[in-house]
Structure 1
Amino acid sequence: MEKFLAENGDASIRDILKENDVDDLEVLASMTESDFEKLGIISFGKRRKLVLAIQKLKSIGQNHEPSEQQQGPCDVPVALAYEDAAGDGPSLPDAKRKSNIDLREALSNTFEGKVLCKHLDNGQTLSSKQRIMLVKIAVACLVEKYGLWPPSEQKTLLAKNIVNTWPSTKDTTPMMAGHIDWMKFSPPNPTTMKKHITYFKETFHYRRAFIANLDHSVTDVLDVFPRVQDVDALIAIDFSMMHGDLTADTFISKWSSFREKVMQVGRKEENVTQLVERFKMLTDVDTVCSRVDAVRYLFYNVPEGTHVEGAIEEIKEKGYRQPLIVTIGPPMKPTQFWICLDHIPVPGGSSVVESFDKLFKSFFVFGLDYPPVLMNFYEYFAAFVYEVSNASAVKPLVRTFASSVKAVE
């Protein structure tokens, strides 16, 4: 334990874990990034480093386990084996065999577990939080009885018995076959990445219907699909499935030539002045802002060394409208890029261009409205750069600017 933390943590992390009685590798290996955050490890980078180190530790341990356990440690919660429990996976030699873990007894040991058990006994479906609790208790039981690498048979047996005891736990989402839960609780790594992307595409229509429900916020969407936060391609995948594959890298591929044309138009001061004056005449004066103010609707910069969580807190305090791009480092040459969605940081990429591409697509993917002061700005990109909206529907001012850019040789 000490050696592991010396290589993958620091004194502050060791103190936090010690204060919370996390004193052996087996307990540590059962923890998730959310667990580390609840303990007060604020730095996103430190949490991710711990999670990746734990995954590596499990992989090393897995390679030294007997063949019966070669399918891996208990890093995929047992309740995610619903597709097997529903009869879609391979059946066991003895279909009547039961898990020797009494999950009902484990639930009765805590007040929250008793409430959950009563909820299940009444045949009610689980909320996201309740499902997480059930999974955590089930995994804890397996780890306590069998250690870090429970036999795969026992994981499957427990999953089957959960569904047989409480049928309401079965994933009945049409055509999903447990995909949503699997993505939610399975950390992405080189081995699982292909499956994550496949399942994400297959849940597209479910996700669109979920997002279309106005009662759901971005936070709700990310709670059901948290992999959007750590699998870089998912927002682009949703956007391309909404508008066609040709839109996937439209902005990034056009950026170099587009940037030069816009700069040439910007150098013609007379045209710019005329456009601004026309804009003031055609638009409610309350929605007109300076170039500096407009940039603030797009970017929020913090100094090098600031954790992204600290930047998010500043955005909360100042009441900045989201989504926007958070940059860390020198304003003209930042080193980190994030998208702030409902006060949740999502990696933005390796450059301002990649970050703006993800920012723009986020409005469509999460069903968000453009900030009023940047309505023309975003409508221009939607109609004339990404070409995902009707150019004839935008304001004459926007079409005039688009014509000026297009006319540049």
Structure 2
Amino acid sequence: MLIKVQFEGKKKYIKLEEVSFLDFHSAVQQKFLIPEDTTLKVTDDHGIEVDEDVFPELATNKEMCFIIHTDDELPFAETSKGSTDFSDLTEFGASSNQTEYVTVTTCDLTVLQQGVVEVPSSPSLTDTLSVSSSLSSSDSGSQIIQPLLDSVHARNNIMQILSSKPAGLTVIKEYEETGSLKDSTRRLMVNIIVAHMREKEGRAVSKGAKEFHAFGIVSLFPTLKDPYSKKGYEHFYDIQSNTGFLEWRMKTVQRKSRTSSTSQSRVELKGGPTLLRTVGALDDQRMGDECMEAMSLLHHTTDHDTVFKKMKETFHYRQQILHDPQRSADVLQMFPRFLDVKGLISQDFSLMFGAEVASRFLEKWSTSFKEKVIQEARKLKETALLKRHLKAALKEDSDTTDDPEWDSDMASLFILLHLLTPQPAGRKQPKKISVEEATTHLVKFYKSCQSLDDHLLTTEGNPQPYLLASGTSKAQVSTFYIVMDRKILPCQSCTSLGAFDELFKSHFVFGVKYDDALSSLYTFVQTTVYNIDIGTTEETPKVKELRARLLNKH
């Protein structure tokens, strides 16, 4: 829709997609380059004021021409006689009972005297003087005074914006001291001004407002003006091409805002082993040189009690390292006692969550979950692998003459894998991993007569830990180890449940994410058995469904 508009004797057409009073105001400001903070009044050609409620109906009249007036209370407003009124210039240094003055810089005085802008050799924001507004009575002054006043208005606007922010004062100070702005300071200034415009106008900042602020920047900081461009401020905002530092920053903020609003629609859950936790105050935590001394002692002492004591004293420091991407891979090198002293994983886990949480899996699995998991698995479509696991869990004799299966407790964990079938490792790996393959991500068997180093030579440096069971057979395991990054950590427990308990805890102790193939299993154990990060951990619908079934089963 085309609407006829008149402002200061100039008539132009305004194009609107929808008949909206607010859109009309914004379009008028853009078309006539009216500053954003100027209050506008709209009347018809008879002088009758047009309000928002009647505007849509009047806008449909093709003969209607809307007249735009600026509020009489604003600085530089036109009087009824068409002359410039200085009676309200108090914010620029004028007083109602004194001769009207406007504060200008040396640069502005040059404009008044010569009619051209000459940037002073040493521009200063505080080098000001007063010029009588009576200059406007002369013919030459009347041709110069309005652009000058617009410049002062725009400059003072930018000064007010920057002065209201501590970072903005930094911008002003740098210009005062150097006569220019570094790239980083210029970006800071642009960020502050764009934030102000969005606060004043919302997301849809008018072109007129952006141009007004660009004009204000070069008015406040004359050396930033481009002498080879038409207006001098196009690098901050060019209304013709809609480009410049202000526009680029505006688009960046809008893009981030859209991304943020999209992500906010979905609550991000971050619970689990990689979460940086605030651990309660612990006694005797070593810091600085004392921590380094404790770590040095750990490398040499053979006293078992001293190792546990010094590992406890360096717990906070170790947590800082584990959540530092630059140093987390070196934790076993910095604390090598994990590699030869059993029980240190359990101690760190207890320091994180307390003894009660640390004991939940061993207390609950056999009494509250194992039998229910087996009952749920009986409802599944039977496969040869599931059948073998069920027989082992129930301690029934196997029908095959193959090597014996794992013991009852380990088999019950495999059955949990049947209930929580492994998901694809990622979008780029759509192939679904089998339960049988997933069990090898959980535990591998190695005969005790063979060297553990030989096993490490055949395995990749997988950051996700897994169990290495050593013994004469799967059913007769004598020792468990945790393998992580081709390092072997001895388990304190000799039972499969105890070893799995330590394996699970190692994820939290070393801040390692779950293996993709075992993620649902570990998440179920974390939230449902240990009751860690309930409600803040992302769970699949299958995990939630199984929990509901087991906890509601009597």
Superposition TM-score, scaled by structure 2 size: 0.38
2:353 aligned with 1:209: no
Residue 274 of structure 1 deviates from its aligned partner by 11
State the AA in 2 paired with 1:400. E
Give the match for residue 331 of structure 1: 474
State the AA in 2 paired with 1:185. H
Residue 380 of structure 1 deviates from its aligned partner by 0.7
State the AA in 2 paired with 1:399. K
SS at 2:476 equivalent: coil
Indicate how the Cα distance of structure 1 residues 279 and 300 shifts in structure 2: closer, same or farther if over 3 A, else same: closer
Residue 207 of structure 1 deviates from its aligned partner by 0.6
Indicate how the Cα distance of structure 1 residues 259 and 207 shifts in structure 2: closer, same or farther if over 3 A, else same: same
2:523 aligned with 1:379: yes
Give the match for residue 532 of structure 2: 388
Give the match for residue 489 of structure 2: 346
1:226 aligned to which of 336, 340, 343 = 336
* 1-structure distance, mates of 2:320, 2:311: 14
* 2-structure distance, mates of 1:274, 1:259: 13
* 2-structure distance, mates of 1:204, 1:371: 25
Give the match for residue 107 of structure 2: none
Indicate how the Cα distance of structure 1 residues 353 and 263 shifts in structure 2: closer, same or farther if over 3 A, else same: same
Given that residues 384 and 391 in structure 1 are in contact (C-alpha distance below 8 angstroms), is that contact kept between their aligned partners in structure 2? Answer: no
Given that residues 324 and 359 in structure 1 are in contact (C-alpha distance below 8 angstroms), is that contact kept between their aligned partners in structure 2? Answer: yes
Indicate how the Cα distance of structure 1 residues 293 and 284 shifts in structure 2: closer, same or farther if over 3 A, else same: same
Give the match for residue 294 of structure 1: 438
Give the match for residue 356 of structure 2: 246
Given that residues 445 and 474 in structure 2 are in contact (C-alpha distance below 8 angstroms), is that contact kept between their aligned partners in structure 1? Answer: yes
Indicate how the Cα distance of structure 1 residues 177 and 302 shifts in structure 2: closer, same or farther if over 3 A, else same: closer
Give the match for residue 549 of structure 2: 404
Indicate how the Cα distance of structure 1 residues 212 and 279 shifts in structure 2: closer, same or farther if over 3 A, else same: closer
Give the match for residue 464 of structure 2: 322
If each structure's strand is expressed as a fraction of its own residues, which one has the higher value? Answer: 2
Residue 263 of structure 1 deviates from its aligned partner by 1.1
2:496 aligned with 1:361: no
* 2-structure distance, mates of 1:307, 1:278: 31
Given that residues 306 and 328 in structure 1 are in contact (C-alpha distance below 8 angstroms), is that contact kept between their aligned partners in structure 2? Answer: no
Given that residues 422 and 433 in structure 2 are in contact (C-alpha distance below 8 angstroms), is that contact kept between their aligned partners in structure 1? Answer: no
5 Å matches for 1:157-168? none
Indicate how the Cα distance of structure 1 residues 248 and 279 shifts in structure 2: closer, same or farther if over 3 A, else same: closer
State the AA in 2 paired with 1:213. D
* 2-structure distance, mates of 1:262, 1:370: 21
Residue 363 of structure 1 deviates from its aligned partner by 0.9
* 2-structure distance, mates of 1:303, 1:238: 30
State the AA in 1 paired with 2:294. H
2:380 aligned with 1:269: yes
* 2-structure distance, mates of 1:313, 1:273: 28
Given that residues 311 and 326 in structure 1 are in contact (C-alpha distance below 8 angstroms), is that contact kept between their aligned partners in structure 2? Answer: no
2:294 aligned with 1:179: yes
Indicate how the Cα distance of structure 1 residues 174 and 259 shifts in structure 2: closer, same or farther if over 3 A, else same: farther
Given that residues 480 and 494 in structure 2 are in contact (C-alpha distance below 8 angstroms), is that contact kept between their aligned partners in structure 1? Answer: yes
Residue 260 of structure 1 deviates from its aligned partner by 1.7
* 2-structure distance, mates of 1:315, 1:177: 34
Q: Return 5+ residue gaps in structure 2 as ranges.
A: 1-285, 383-415
Residue 232 of structure 1 deviates from its aligned partner by 1.5
Give the match for residue 62 of structure 2: none
2:347 aligned with 1:237: yes
* 1-structure distance, mates of 2:355, 2:547: 23
Indicate how the Cα distance of structure 1 residues 279 and 208 shifts in structure 2: closer, same or farther if over 3 A, else same: closer
Given that residues 287 and 372 in structure 1 are in contact (C-alpha distance below 8 angstroms), is that contact kept between their aligned partners in structure 2? Answer: no
Q: Return 5+ residue gaps in structure 1 as ranges.
A: 1-170
State the AA in 1 paired with 2:365. W
Deviations 1:171-206 (A, max 9, x none): 97255271111112212xxxx322222221111111
SS at 1:241 equivalent: helix
Residue 407 of structure 1 deviates from its aligned partner by 2.6
Give the superposed CA RMSD. 3.2
* 2-structure distance, mates of 1:370, 1:308: 24
The 4+ residue runs of structure 1 with deviation greater than 3 A are 270-280, 319-322
Indicate how the Cα distance of structure 1 residues 259 and 182 shifts in structure 2: closer, same or farther if over 3 A, else same: same
Give the match for residue 194 of structure 1: 305
Deviations 1:300-357 (A, max 9, x none): 11234112222222223xx766311111231233222111011111112312112111
| Greater mean alpha carbon deviation, residues 176-185 or residues 197-206 | 176-185
State the AA in 1 paired with 2:355. D
SS at 1:176 equivalent: helix
Residue 279 of structure 1 deviates from its aligned partner by 7.2
Residue 208 of structure 1 deviates from its aligned partner by 0.4
Residue 212 of structure 1 deviates from its aligned partner by 1.0
Given that residues 349 and 358 in structure 2 are in contact (C-alpha distance below 8 angstroms), is that contact kept between their aligned partners in structure 1? Answer: yes
State the AA in 1 paired with 2:320. A
Indicate how the Cα distance of structure 1 residues 396 and 222 shifts in structure 2: closer, same or farther if over 3 A, else same: same
Deviations 1:12-55 (A, max 9, x none): xxxxxxxxxxxxxxxxxxxxxxxxxxxxxxxxxxxxxxxxxxxx
SS at 2:327 equivalent: coil
State the AA in 2 paired with 1:204. F
* 2-structure distance, mates of 1:203, 1:248: 20
* 1-structure distance, mates of 2:436, 2:517: 12
* 2-structure distance, mates of 1:331, 1:286: 32
* 1-structure distance, mates of 2:301, 2:421: 54
SS at 1:269 equivalent: coil
5 Å matches for 1:100-111? none
Higher relative contact order, structure no. (Cα contacts within 8 Å, ≥ 6 residues apart): 1
State the AA in 2 paired with 1:184. H
Indicate how the Cα distance of structure 1 residues 321 and 213 shifts in structure 2: closer, same or farther if over 3 A, else same: closer
Given that residues 463 and 512 in structure 2 are in contact (C-alpha distance below 8 angstroms), is that contact kept between their aligned partners in structure 1? Answer: no
Given that residues 363 and 369 in structure 1 are in contact (C-alpha distance below 8 angstroms), is that contact kept between their aligned partners in structure 2? Answer: yes
Residue 273 of structure 1 deviates from its aligned partner by 13
Indicate how the Cα distance of structure 1 residues 197 and 303 shifts in structure 2: closer, same or farther if over 3 A, else same: closer
* 1-structure distance, mates of 2:347, 2:421: 40
Indicate how the Cα distance of structure 1 residues 259 and 180 shifts in structure 2: closer, same or farther if over 3 A, else same: same
* 2-structure distance, mates of 1:356, 1:261: 19
Residue 391 of structure 1 deviates from its aligned partner by 4.1
Given that residues 211 and 221 in structure 1 are in contact (C-alpha distance below 8 angstroms), is that contact kept between their aligned partners in structure 2? Answer: yes
* 2-structure distance, mates of 1:358, 1:328: 16
